A and B are shown apart, each in its own frame.
Chain A
């Protein structure tokens, strides 16, 4: 038991340190491009967390989440530009529209085997991409101007520090919401469907309903991220939404560790750094990301989180000397 306590304590300390770093980051960095970059990392954290709900918890794969990212972006663009809605309200509506689209797709597709679900998601993402490219009104190639991120009429993008904090708050909300969902009976139902659909059905879980629900929640996150990204960039161009970009979220989840709260966070941050560092060497970037997927599945299927957990347990065992057997038993991390 004591080892378990120490792991928990260690978790709190790590979380606190990371939280403090995240909060004081804008004080350390003044370069506005870097702040913009970190805001984007936050957006990817939300999107990757969304995919993890579907992939890590409910056990369904999607190679087409970029479609919902696109839906979020274009819906909020149209709502703010043509209906004159306030940005925050429009982002939430856009996310809800993406969730509705996700649920509609999931209704027929959630019964598919994983390979076919993957193909269906690829087909859907390609369809949405082609659709966007073919609607003249959206000025797909030239790009469409989007209102800057703002709350109560204050333009946040005028100083990226504000943008950063805005995104940070939403990242925290998104992670908390994910924590609440996966710890509840809904999260347990997701995992039951993932592990064994037949006995989930036998235990009174409406498998179909929960699969659709997982899809909807997941696409809400991604739609939200897409909408925020549009307002952050102040421009939507169709090239952003090619189907192949969906794989980015999958890579983030695999790298960080699925079925955890902080795995996708680590994944998104590291992914963005590698992506940025190798922006001009796309061939190496492909090889590295492909290699990460192949090596992690072979040697570290739990992603970075499982490695961190192992490390923590070792540390905890060292802290509580003489209680070694207790320490090795208490492996389950709190969050």
Chain B
């Protein structure tokens, strides 16, 4: 589904991501783990079009999407959430979800101006779908609250709902469990599995081993900008290098 080959990202001579290649297979949950500062988020930003790569190529469904713009990738079917929450804080929960529907709602400026039947139809469709996505994460009863008023964990869920609204083929989750307590993590695990069962390919970043080992079908491990190991969760867990990186590093 997504194939990144030999990705190199340098900031003023320092390599944040050092010739990393990964492949995200269709219909699976792929995990990307590593300690803090391993270059996971930078790598993620490359795939979602936020960060330009210095070298290397990224393919999505066989097409070259290297250094594509974020909004174009979103339209093509790659959606993401953010490690530090990036919601539209002054807008309602429903509006946040509706903004996710932006590129799946098809009408132009003049249709909006005159309120044509097509515009009404599209808006109605978008609204229904947005509510449905909010229901999946369990926020439909809070649709009129401002996004900024939600508790932290629910803001994370809203980010996921908003990303789902863009009708993605691939969903990139950047540390979705950060700041969540144990109960919330269980809910999140179920949610990610549910999303995968909807036929959406998932790539998830975590530094929390437990979460990722629970849900992932395949795991990549990064450390210091390099790809350290890859394989099935059980294999990776036994890999001595990974254990050193996680335990011996500090």
Name B50's contact: one of A181, A191, A192, A202 (CB within 8 Å).
A202
Interface size class of A (residues with CB under 8 A): 20 to 34
Known: A192-B88, A207-B71. A180 touches B113 (CB 8 A): yes
- The answer to whether B90 and A195 have CB atoms under 8 Å apart is yes
- A3 CB to nearest chain B CB (Å): 13
Say if the beta carbon of B121 comes within 8 Å of chain A. no
Residue B162 interfacial (CB < 8 Å):
yes
**Which parts of A193-222 form the interface with B (CB within 8 Å)?**
195-196, 198-207, 213
Is A196 touching B95 in the complex (CB atoms < 8 A)?
A: no
- Interface contact B113-A200, CB-CB below 8 Å: no
Is B100 on the interface with A (CB-CB < 8 A)? yes
Number of B interface residues, CB 8 Å? 38
Q: Which one of A21-29, A30-38, A128-136, A182-190 contacts B?
A: A182-190
Q: Which residues of A contact B162 (CB under 8 A)?
A: 203
Minimum Cβ distance to chain A for residue B249 (Å): 30
Would you call B186 an interface residue if the criterion is a C-beta within 8 Å of the partner chain's C-beta atoms?
Answer: no
Tell which of A180, A199, A213 touches B115, judged by Cβ atoms closer than 8 Å: A180
Are the C-beta atoms of A203 and B74 separated by less than 8 Å? yes
Complex: how many Å from CA A205 to CA B103? 7
In the complex, whether A15 has a CB less than 8 A from a CB of chain B is no
Min Cβ gap A106→B in Å is: 15
| Contact present for B115 and A204 (CB under 8 Å) | no
Assess whether A198 is in contact with B86, with CB atoms less than 8 Å apart.
yes
Given contacts A191-B91, A202-B50, A207-B71, A184 and B112 within 8 Å (CB-CB): yes
Chain B residues contacting A184 (CB-CB under 8 Å) are 107, 112, 119, 123
Closest to A198 in B: B86
B189 at the interface (CB under 8 A from A): no
Chain A residues 242 to 281 lying within 8 A of chain B, measured CB to CB, are none
A177 within 8 A of B: yes
A332 interfacial contact with B, CB 8 Å: yes
Residue of A nearest to B165 (CB): A203
Asked if B70 is at the interface of the complex by the 8 Å CB criterion, the answer is yes
A206 to B92, Cβ gap below 8 A? no
Q: How far is the CA of A188 from the CA of B97 in the complex (A)?
A: 10
In the complex, what residue of chain A is closest to B75 when comparing beta carbons?
A204
Please tell me if the beta carbons of A204 and B74 are within 8 angstroms of each other in the complex: yes
On B, residues with C-beta under 8 Å from A are 48-50, 69-71, 74-75, 79-80, 82, 86-92, 95, 98-103, 105, 107, 109, 112-115, 119, 123, 126, 144, 162, 166
Residues of chain A touching chain B, judged by Cβ–Cβ distance below 8 Å, are 177, 180-181, 184-186, 188-189, 191-192, 195-196, 198-207, 213, 332
* Closest 10 pairs (CB-CB, A-B): A204-B103, A184-B112, A204-B74, A199-B86, A195-B88, A201-B70, A192-B99, A206-B71, A185-B105, A204-B71
